[in-house]
A and B are shown apart, each in its own frame.
Chain A
């Protein structure tokens, strides 16, 4: 166990909810109350506590990049604060070995009245750098941040982006053994974000152990091979990033309120996806397979002039892959009376790359420009394929290489005019 730079062993963390007595004036009455009504006070206290982390365990071996994802309130920040020793676990143990760098609130130590240069020394010291190290890397830090012309200007005159860039640059030159990164990439422009990501990649390649907490799923998958999914303080998944992203997205979609119409005019009765010649429901499909989605919907209120449509989305990131309606396919608009049932049959070819996908079904009134009905995930399926590649569509590529025969060139005989 002691071998790993990061060990999180059955960690529980409890917080208090609500207002806390933070003055002596409140303390005295509450003490009196507790003495007189002992049982009641304990009961009250139990209600005000909640577990931000429940029995979470993981280890990170040296040189590995671990992503932590999950919805707000899942316990990601708590986990990070435990790792950086700002908090201590209520139960369990949390060990981090080696020099720790944290790209969290990189500008926390900045004082607005001090100049950029003075703040570099201060923030560097806060992050645990020696004055000598900072002095040696000052030019590098300032160059990286891109605020060189303003380095002797008080930080209060900086934009928030400039502050964050300077803060990140200091942290990036820390040379840690273990690096914790929170949502810091959200600041700075695109080119600076790319620079930061590249810097973190370099760190990982150089053997730094990295823990990356982010809502930026693309950045997580670009940086980490392994990821944890946290939800309501519990560890839901620990494994390959791709799978983690799918699990997180699926959970997030279940949790989110369905953004259907306020007052749906149709109701979904059944939906089934089949593939190829098979009659039974399919959830695993091979690329290019012909698929058929059969849905039955019931009209709840009389509807005049509607079109039925489908949407195909990739589950991991809700990438919109395809969408079409009966109107767009040249069909005339339909009408239905209340209580009438309609069977919708959609035939399509799954020219899709490996991954998880979902189909949404909707009924739309194109003249009013309004959705009469919207059903998310009427069918979920995954496309499986033994080869490994990246993307959305299956384009059946073939790549061949051929060497070009080049005439021999004698460099000595080449003269430059």
Chain B
């Protein structure tokens, strides 16, 4: 137990001591993206927008479905939230292996790498949100009191994404083919999450299983508090919150205890 508390204290202390590094690393990645690509932050808006158009055509013309709100709003909100997690995961996967130089030569808490991936994606998420606000205005959605629950949804979303990022970056450092495996898994995961259609549309039996995927109540949570003007479905959202918090605690601890093997294994 003393071991655990010592570890926890060290984890927290290091985050405080190195908080400026987290900021600098995030700034580095954003600067690089801005310098290396023509569109810069434009990608953050462009990608979900194109996808929204495509899926709007599919799900309103080809195979119309009822989602209880204008479909483009449903899809864009889902894609934006999903993309935040998905791009965090993708960056985090290679965050340790592509910084071999730093991992083997300089010491600082390695959590910085996956955390940077999350923060960079969070900036994209924020940029893309402006379009969501525009769409909400266009469709005449009025914010209601449920908006107060938005920070909670974001917090749970962050915790869950961060914990998966910690595990992924570590896994890919020890086993390099995790990256390829996860690429496939990510596509499957997206279609098993309520990104483009309500999970109920997949049939009752599958829905009963897939509703426990924490990302489904999180993404539905955004739609509830922003568009429907209701609070998230309590049972599922509470389960997702507790799962995320527990997963974050466990994955962080595992990461912290494994990080001294990183330099030898990268």
Q: Which residues of A contact B (CB under 8 A)?
A: 15-16, 20, 22-25, 27, 81, 84-88, 102, 104-105, 108-109, 111, 113-114, 118, 121-122, 125-128, 130-131
Contacts and interface: CB of A to CB of B under 8 A. Distances in A.
Interface SS of B by simple majority = helix
Given A86-B106, A86-B263, A111-B32, A22 B174 contact: yes
A114 B21 contact: no
A108 B176 contact: no
A88 B260 contact: yes
Given A102-B106, A122-B28, A108 B174 contact: no
Contact of A128 (B18, B36, B181): B18
A125 B24 contact: yes
A22 B21 contact: no
A126 to B, nearest CB: 6
Given A24-B177, A128-B17, A128-B18, A113 B35 contact: yes
A108 B32 contact: no
Given A24-B175, A85-B107, A122-B25, A113 B181 contact: no
Contacts of B181: 24
Nearest to A87: B263
Given A23-B177, A114-B32, A105 B263 contact: no
A108 B105 contact: yes
B175 A87 contact: no
Chain B interface bracket (under 10, 10 to 19, 20 to 34, 35 or more): 20 to 34
B265 A22 contact: yes
Contacts of A22: 174-176, 265
Interface string B34-55: 0110000000000000000000
A67 to B, nearest CB: 21
B107 A25 contact: no
B102 A126 contact: yes
B209 to A, nearest CB: 25
A136 to B, nearest CB: 14
A121 B21 CA distance: 9
Nearest to A25: B177
A86 B263 CA distance: 7
Contacts of A102: 106-107
B239 interface: no
